[in-house]
Structure 1
């Protein structure tokens, strides 16, 4: 009897390993084209499907570090932070500190004030978490063009903006995605407990769920596991630091931690935190427009009515998480490349988990242009006074930057015609007999503008 039981257990274990291996192969098949096409430099993927968990890594940490990312590689997760802030609101409600309908004005710290669109209708906490507050996406005193836009935006800056901002819509009148609204929510919840957002995140969510790598500020050891950031096209990007906007996009994490977080959504732990998870999961706002998604607290609700999801992007990373209690499944994709293509992959993986026969994507094949020929296009081209294109070569990549903007990779349709992936724009070079660029034409939004090569000393 003992021998038979042991054999049965062994067979179940072998079957489980085989199923996980099959799942890993399916993930590899869908992920590989994103690396082969250089759409993504490196990424880590985590899948939960019932009792199976698979973690896979692809690509490399950076152009100078060929190590393959894994489940412990850390990334900026951007706006997935909003899901954590929504859970912090639910936690405060369960603890009895606030209610979903508590007016924001009641929690404003000293020195803050807000104008109302309607005296009868204040902004309430749940409005901030469901993007129905009437607050704009970003405050107009934020230097959004800065390579690290949120680092120096403080609570004083937020107070200055809120004091003068006149809402155009009543709370609850429409859905307008607002980083500002979630940032304000995170600040208010932390201030109510006389702490900062990073500490509140640790004490109320990360520590109870054993999310050891989920932080606002990384330790030195964690910093060594942070994948290098890249913009769409593979050029170097920037890490982003956050002050008062931390609750909207400041969290860093890894796939192993986010799978733990996803598992807690699928099977909430006993106690008040589990109650808070269910509260945040519950639909709190139905769509107000055909293009809207229903909302939990921080969570978007997919059109199937059951899957919760969110994505995030910073100056060099993109992240996506999908969780379905109906399927008992979750998908996490973290990439060190700021491209929305990551969301497409995450959706593919979620459909695969749901049983759909997903086909690997086919990316357009690029014309091969030698680095020597690309070098002949390098230089500076003046589009207008104060607006200069800088063209350079990095390895086998042609990079173009306009004054005050990041260097972005462009892709060849021919030796002289190149296109961006991050925006719908084309650059066409005019060359002399030696192949040296003499001008470049920008075609964007139906308009053609020509930039002339500048002299060697300019």
Structure 2
């Protein structure tokens, strides 16, 4: 008999130890623990401290084995449940000083930074300062007539420009070097034919966006996104006054932090805390209270553009129909999808948010010493961010996130 595929949903799910090796079976929970968990997941002020401890117990049973298995020094895990934020911290931000991870600890979020770049480009679109349908040379004249100019900004935003690589060659440095690289780049496919995950692709989108808006990229991120959303502990460059909160990442047992690189700010440069990242997710889940242009920009990033298997690529965020199976979530974040060119199918009619379909949005991020994952389901007011000061395998992140969200969904 074929084993049924499990899905992550708001309904109670059947437990399978095979799918979630770090979780205890439901029998390990007493009736009292289940009742307390239900209270923790409901918007009820009574016994809030006790309820949070019950929720912590569910997170602990996944995160502690994960850290042990992969040698992760420290983590901050944030949950949005029913519109309420919960942050749980583990381990140390620095092995050398034995500094514990706290809610104030700043982590590198790697390529989750791309969701900020995409939101900035979307803000330019809704305010009329740029067009995603325009070609790069409309804003960067040095690229006129070059192969890259066959693509549009939308292709850059969805990694479908024609086969841009994952990273710039080591010889590329500075904006002039970046432009020279794009002037000589040779595509492997027509725009819109394949998706190939790429830092140069999103990086060029960010460069074109800043040029169109006639302002430095870092300044635009600060004034158009971070300040309006109240992200007071999110930075491209961590200020001196906050360095004590900046975690050290670990690679091969050595403390490291991210190194400068071409278009690094646009693609992997943001550092943030778990509470701030939860604010970022909540803004996406419900942007109704935001400035209209900013809210419209965040909604624009949710529109699906190209389908790759069960995953749909939007602007920055990747998305799946919800409920989603564990297998589909792993496949959409697989090494093949990250490293290899994948044929794509344009999403017919470009389905907009609010069309009645429930969706799960996610994004992974890594630097040399950090690993992060963010996921949210607007229809369920459910979100999760996991920040770690080690770049551990992406499948392990997906498994852990699925385990936590599954426990929450089964008991809600």
Q: Distance in 2 between matches of 1:19 and 1:140?
A: 48
Evaluate the alpha carbon distance shift between residue 277 and residue 283 of structure 1 in structure 2; reply closer, same or farther with a 3 A threshold: same
Which has the greater radius of gyration? 1
SS of the aligned residue for 1:309 comes to strand
Structure 1, residues 352-397: CA drift from partner, whole Å, max 9, x if none? 332279xxxxxxxxxxxxxxxxxxxxxxxxxxxxxxxxxxxxxxxx
Counterpart CA distance in 2 for 1:174 and 1:49 is: 36
Higher relative contact order, chain-length normalized (CA < 8 Å, sep 6+): 2
Please report how far the alpha carbon of residue 83 of structure 1 lies from its aligned counterpart in structure 2 after TM superposition. 0.6
1:45 and 2:77 matched: yes
1:437-448 aligned within 5 A:
none
Contact 2:163 2:195 in 1 (8 A): no
Following superposition, the deviation at residue 194 of structure 1 comes to 1.8
Comparing 293-302 with 243-252, greater Cα deviation is found at 243-252
The answer on 1:181 being equivalent to 2:201 is: yes
Equivalent-residue separation in structure 2 for 1:163 and 1:13 (angstroms): 59
Unpaired runs of at least 5, structure 1 = 1-10, 144-151, 358-458
Rounded Cα–Cα distance in structure 2 between residues aligned with 1:352 and 1:345 = 11
Q: 1:320 matched to which residue of 2?
A: 373
Deviation at 1:73, TM superposition (A): 0.4
| Bigger proportion of residues as helix | 2
Confirm whether residue 295 of structure 1 aligns to residue 316 of structure 2: no
Q: Which residue matches 2:14?
A: none
TM-score with structure 1 setting the length: 0.68
Could you say which residue in structure 1 is the equivalent of 2:13? none
Cα distance in 1 between the residues matched to 2:44 and 2:256: 46
Q: Which runs of 5+ in 2 are unaligned?
A: 1-42, 325-357
Partners of 2:392 and 2:312 lie apart in 1 by 24
Contact kept, 8 Å, 1:132 with 1:176, in 2: the verdict is: yes
Instruction: Report the Cα offset of residue 98 of structure 1.
Output: 1.8
* CA distance in 1 between partners of 2:297 and 2:193 (Å): 26
**Where does residue 142 of structure 1 map in the other structure?**
170
CA pair 102-353 structure 1, distance change in 2 beyond 3 A:
farther
Q: Are positions 1:123 and 2:151 aligned together? A: yes
CA distance in 2, matches of 1:19, 1:114: 61
Q: CA deviation at 1:61?
A: 1.5
Between Structure 1 and Structure 2, which shows a larger proportion of strand residues? 1
Q: Normalising by structure 2, report the TM-score.
A: 0.75
Matches within 5 A, 1:18-417: 18-37=50-69, 39-109=71-141, 111-113=142-144, 115-116=146-147, 122-138=150-166, 141-142=169-170, 153-231=173-251, 234-268=253-287, 269-270=289-290, 271-287=292-308, 290=309, 293-303=311-321, 304=324, 306-340=359-393, 341-355=396-410
**Partners of 1:136 and 1:345 in 2: CA distance:** 31
C-alpha distance 40-122 of structure 1, shift in aligned 2 (>3 A): same
Aligned residue pair count: 331
The 3 A distance-change label for structure 1 pair 139 and 318 is closer
